[in-house]
Amino acid sequence: MPHVQRLTDAKNSPMPGKSGTSSGVMSYFLFFGAYTLLSVSGLAILKHFLPQFSFSTKVPVRLAAFLALGASLYAASFVTWLLILRTFPLATAYPIAVGLTICGTTILAVLVLGETLGPVQMLGIVSIMAGVILLARKA
């Protein structure tokens, strides 16, 4: 069963994300940083420009370009996610990626889109980031 063996080997193989090495730390920053940046910026662009979109009217070129940019960034984040899945254990990769995306999206929504957070939501973001840090240290 080569497929099962490969999954076992992937779990135990030396990965770029292996802790204790500077290249492992850089791999985490590179992979998860790129994923978060692409995902959050794509979502923010789509959120900002989608209210202007309508199927019933002709779409202005500028609006179509921004929607295409947002969708392309979000699609690129998915490709980056596939690279993360290939490289890091799922039990670590998924919560880190989701946590960073939640925090990044929330922070961008406040800073760029003018949305507001109460103290409880801010505490939630801090708690999520603490969890991400702990998960990254484990890996």
- Residue in the block written with tokens 């497929």: 3
In angstroms, rounded to a whole number, what is the distance separating the alpha carbons of residues 71 and 45? Answer: 8
Task: Return the percentage of the chain with pLDDT > 70, whole number.
Answer: 81
Among residues 94, 93, 114, the alpha carbon closest in space to that of 44 is found at 114
Residue-averaged pLDDT of the chain: 84
Return the higher-pLDDT residue of 76 and 10: 76
Sign, CA torsion 83/86/87/91: positive
Q: How confident is the model at residue 10 (pLDDT cuts 50, 70, 90)?
A: very low
Check residue 7 and give its pLDDT: 40
